[in-house]
Structure 1
Amino acid sequence: MIQEMFNSRATRARSLNVLLSLTSTRKGTQTISEYFAKMKALADELAMSGKQVDAEELTAFILNGLDDDYDSVVSALAAKTKPITLSETYAQLLNFENRLNLRREGNMTANVAGRGRGNAPSNRGGAGRGRGGRGGFNGAGTNAGCGGRGAGQQQRSGNDTRPVCLVCYKRGHVAADCWHRYDDSYVPDERHLAAAASYAYFF
């Protein structure tokens, strides 16, 4: 009798500790795969003690432990009207993580390229003299120059290095500066999601 009581108390204490771990565990520096596996293991351990955690509850615990970089995908998943499975949640988070990594690598490359351009000698003076010289050709040189600038602009638009906000998916600002950052009810426009998907893989 005493042994059974002791075992029962130990089981309850263990269940409480595991439940506290589920509610307080954060992703931190773990990958999505590592974090998801850890949370799933805690849920399985809790189930062994008689406290079953359903998929929706575990999904809530997992989303709650993500950092601010994942705010947009958390909002998108929370806005779904139908329940999502754990496998779907995992796939969405994994794809989003891949996109974040691609974005960070792209930003690092752009920063390195920007520093390289900053060290290059300026040729603006020569360009200004060239524009002044075009006036003597009755506009013909100007038209040719404008055509050249248009081609340059077209080329730059195909390699747009402006940041894409991870909250609203619009170009020109980052998530930290987005007006919708703390708007839990905001759902990104599908057009902006499609534009982001054409730049890099998204869920």
Structure 2
Amino acid sequence: MISEPHMGDQDSSSSLPPSSTAITGVSTEPQIPATLKFIISNLKNIIPHHLTPENYPIWRMQLFQHLSANGYADHLTGKSTPPSDLDSPEYARWSLVDNNLISALFSTISPAILPYVIHSTTAQDVWNTLERRLQSQSRSRVIQLKNELHNIQMNNLTVQQYLSQIKNLVDNIAASGATIDSEDIVLYILKGLPPAYNSFKTYIRASPLPADLDNLYSLLCSEEIHINQDQHTKQARSSSASALYANSQSSNQNRYQKKFIKNKNSTYRQPDSQDPANSASNTSSSRPVCQICSKAGHIAINCWHRLNLKYAPTTTSNGPRALLAQPNGPSMQPWILDFGATTHLTSDSKNLLNSFPYNGQDSITVANGSSIPIHSSGQGLLPLSDNHRQSSTASWPSP
């Protein structure tokens, strides 16, 4: 017995979609390329800082390099143009890529600059608008950076800090599209060094070979160490000298106070030991000083010049002197010496040490033939280079 199918079963089976359509059906909507998805997802890591007027050269270089490496730089430069048929699948795919690039660019722009490009419709339009707005500012920025590099000074910075500042300026200038020669950088570095590095600057400038920046960095660090050591040594010596001077002043003050307290009740205060004259007097007080020739080592009675009336001291002495007051009278007469005789003559008996009246018959005969009587005789100290005492001397009465 064969049953016929019911009409309800036919209706239910006919309402199901064809299996071929459900299995083999493929969407015709354009898909985002995998490389573009990778760029968008990692753009924040590649360009961590938002675009500002100050970092435009660096931002532009980083972003263009990243898009160029993945084949999307043509959308920025205008080499990739949209298809003319707006309804074609090619235009849909181009528009999808370009709109995603616009979104990627917007995500890296700071809120202060975003209003400049908010109405742009293509990635090329965004790129060109930013270049027109910020490139002129970038040129001014280059001039400013070069001026800072020309006038940079080390001052109180370390060598490492000083060279880091110069490197930052050079990098910013290079990111703006300008270049600086290595020798010019060396000149800027030497120009900003303080006077303590004058010998180092002379050595670098007089060197026959051009200075390499890497070698210059090592030489500068070594020179800084030597300069710091020299300054530390000078400061230590200065501190020691100051401490010694302070101790000396304190010692002198204490010595002065002790002397002042000791002699405060007397009518005479001992002069300070720092007086040169007093120091010299104290030093030579153990040796006698002659009051005639002012020389140390003997006294007046033993002086060779005691009876030399024509002798005048050649030096002055600061020591005490004995002042002799005597009435005006005839000046003492000198000796009449005869080195071939045993007896010498003088007209003043005061030149004799031991005089006694002469009672003999002898007399003194002078050049005109007249005779002069001998008044007294004795011994005397002759004005010779040594203290020669004659055995016999004679004197005649002065007129």
Match of 2:174 among 39, 47, 70: 47
Paired AA for residue 24 in structure 1: N
Indicate the structure whose relative CO is greater, using CA pairs within 8 Å and at least 6 residues apart: 1
Runs of 4 or more off by more than 6 Å in structure 1? Answer: none
Paired AA for residue 194 in structure 2: D
Give the superposition deviation at 1:88. 1.2
Inter-partner Cα distance in structure 1 for 2:131 and 2:160: 39
Secondary structure of 2:186 counterpart: helix
Match of 1:18 among 134, 141, 145: 145
Aligned partner of 2:226 in structure 1 is 99
Inter-partner Cα distance in structure 2 for 1:65 and 1:41: 15
Q: Please report the TM-score for the alignment, with normalisation by the length of structure 2.
A: 0.30
Q: Does 1:29 align with 2:173?
A: no
Give the superposition deviation at 1:6. 2.9
Inter-partner Cα distance in structure 1 for 2:244 and 2:206: 43
Aligned partner of 1:71 in structure 2 is 198
Give the superposition deviation at 1:3. 4.9
Inter-partner Cα distance in structure 2 for 1:4 and 1:55: 29
Matches within 5 A, 1:116-131: 116-118=243-245, 119-120=247-248
Q: Please report the TM-score for the alignment, with normalisation by the length of structure 1.
A: 0.57
Give the superposition deviation at 1:26. 0.8
Matches within 5 A, 1:1-203: 3-118=130-245, 119-120=247-248
Paired AA for residue 225 in structure 2: N
Paired AA for residue 114 in structure 1: A
Give the superposition deviation at 1:5. 3.1
Q: Deviations over 1:70-119 (max 9, x none)?
A: 11111110111111111111112111111111111101110111123222
Bigger share in helix: 1
Inter-partner Cα distance in structure 2 for 1:93 and 1:23: 19
Paired AA for residue 57 in structure 1: D
| Bigger Cα displacement from structure 2, 48-57 vs 22-31 | 48-57
Give the superposition deviation at 1:31. 0.6
Superposed CA RMSD:
2.6
Aligned partner of 1:162 in structure 2 is none
Between the two proteins, the alignment pairs up a number of residues equal to 129
Identity of aligned residues (%): 22
Paired AA for residue 72 in structure 1: S
Q: Deviations over 1:17-55 (max 9, x none)?
A: 111111111111111110011101110111111112232
